[in-house]
Chain A
């Protein structure tokens, strides 16, 4: 807050106290007037629902009959439900696989497309397309690419290689990984942009010095580039972690959790529970669990990041 100017009258020292006090009163109200719309909207549509969700998670919610306090029963029910347990596994596999896949591919893309030539800028624009396209559109696109008969887009490619048609989305063993591939495809270009910003900040004279010392390209990457883009990598990792846990739209539009629940993640499960089966209490409990884990992870990653930066 370096920008706040001292009141001019106060600086002149005339009747300092009185002016200060009046200025203070007026000044105290003004910021709140500017903040009011934002705070009101955040309160009504973010914090109130959050509080309500936590509250409802302790109830058996029965429309028209009145809610009944049941303590931690919802949590117990959700956590011991095997479909939710499976969903935890899927969420972890999908989140971790998708995050690391997208970071690795994003890094590779950043290394490949780093540079100032105009053609590279155009390439970057094109490669970034998946990240700006609405997830629902991407879902439709991938559903067609995954078309299960041999004349599907990917399957016709496999056909050329002499491989049989693959049931990307209909095979319970494969559907989760097919979803993961789409997630990597969406998020790799996004990570690329952040990592490119990191790469741009690397001191060029270090590369020169490394070359003079005669180090190999691999060593240069490992000991010069990677340490320099550590902050960017940490940001990408933080974003990916939070995103991975609450993954919903990708799965919902591509597989809807199927086949046979093989791609059901935590949020699609909670959605089904809340909206299709009308079990508001259970769905709220599931959301609260997710919220707690997200907050915990965010705090943890931030802590690690700060420690890493201080070192």
Chain B
């Protein structure tokens, strides 16, 4: 990851800042820019492309409009579900609020905030040791972190729920506390890998110069390495947030009773509640959707970069 910000759709040109095309690229005729040789001239291919783009948009993005329109519609059912609300109302949100949706959102926000903070700190520290130090057993430790990626919550759910009920050695019961969700999210192999790769690329001269000035380890990390890692931290942050917000099984098994649920898990409560209609469920879905939507739209560049870079590093 020498060039931290790579637009995945642009050929990687190591010497040029990403986001600007070089002269060489510009002189290549447009029909060699893409695999299918799309060009901007109106014609059959151009029309076909626009048509296909519209279909893609309808398939992948338009369904989200139904969430919003349904959430603002009084008692939507079946045919009244459409892309635009007909008689808008905030009633669904009021009912969802009475069913405790804001408390669930609160749980979610605490877990997402705390989990992400812990994850970033823990993974940064580990990555710093793995990238900037040489020690015995390094390969083994690297492998251990890699293995955490192969141990998804699904596979260890049952024993994990027992561990959360009685943490070994300290014998704490984390069930029903936010810690039960936050702590298992701390060591995330993906962030460790990505940050390690990124930190390895920081020139040794910078570190040496700082060491000669008598900079200690913590200051080295905080004042020298971290500022240089900002792009990678951004990626780890966005991906981490999306991953934590998507958690389903973990909040489910870490809860003692439904009031501990996160907003995404709580949607199932709204759904099975016979007294509320699908409008209220959709209002809940909107509330669960908005935070990840905000994070995505604000930081989508680093998210997409991260997926592409993380994947190709594989």
Contact = CB atoms under 8 A, between A and B. Distances in A.
Interface of A: 1-5, 8, 27-28, 30-35, 37-39, 41-42, 44-50, 52-53, 56, 109, 111-117, 120-121, 123-130, 132-137, 139-141, 143-145, 147, 149-153, 156, 185, 188-190, 193-194, 196-202, 204-205, 207-208, 211, 217, 220-221, 225, 231-232, 235-236, 238-239, 242, 246, 248-249, 252-253, 267, 270-271, 274-275, 280, 283-284, 287, 290-291, 294-295, 298
Interface residues of B, number: 120
Contacts of A236: 311
A136 B246 CA distance: 8
Contact of B38 (A2, A115, A211, A291): A115
A3 to B, nearest CB: 5
A174 B194 CA distance: 41
B129 A200 contact: no
B159 A35 contact: no
Contacts of A35: 125-126, 129-130, 141
Interface of B: 6-12, 21, 25, 28-29, 31-38, 40, 49, 52-53, 56-57, 59-61, 63-64, 66-67, 70, 77-81, 121-123, 125-126, 128-136, 138, 141, 144-145, 147-148, 150-152, 154-163, 167-168, 183-184, 186-187, 192, 199-200, 202-204, 207-208, 211-212, 217, 221, 242, 245-246, 248-249, 253, 264-265, 267-268, 271, 278, 281-282, 284-285, 288-289, 292-293, 296-297, 300, 303-304, 307-309, 311-312, 314
Contacts of A193: 8, 304, 307-308
A123 B56 CA distance: 9
B154 A246 contact: yes
B265 to A, nearest CB: 7
Contacts of B121: 37
> By DSSP majority rule, is chain B's interface helix, strand, loop, or mixed?
helix
A267 B289 CA distance: 26
A189 B60 contact: yes
A196 B32 contact: no
A112 B159 contact: no
B162 A123 contact: no
Nearest to B186: A41
A217 B314 CA distance: 31
Contacts, number: 348
B187 A125 contact: no
Contacts of A220: 35, 37
A274 B157 contact: yes
16 contacts: A3-B203, A30-B129, A34-B133, A49-B156, A53-B158, A113-B53, A114-B35, A129-B60, A133-B64, A133-B293, A151-B80, A196-B308, A221-B36, A267-B154, A271-B249, A274-B161
B235 to A, nearest CB: 13
B311 to A, nearest CB: 5
A145 B268 contact: no
A197 B8 contact: yes
Max count, chain B CB within 10 A of own CB: residue among A35, A37, A139: A35
Nearest to A126: B61
The 7 closest A-B pairs by CB, nearest first: A151-B78, A151-B79, A197-B308, A34-B129, A38-B126, A197-B8, A53-B159
B126 to A, nearest CB: 4
Nearest to B199: A3
B61 A298 contact: no
Given A34-B125, A41-B184, A271 B157 contact: yes
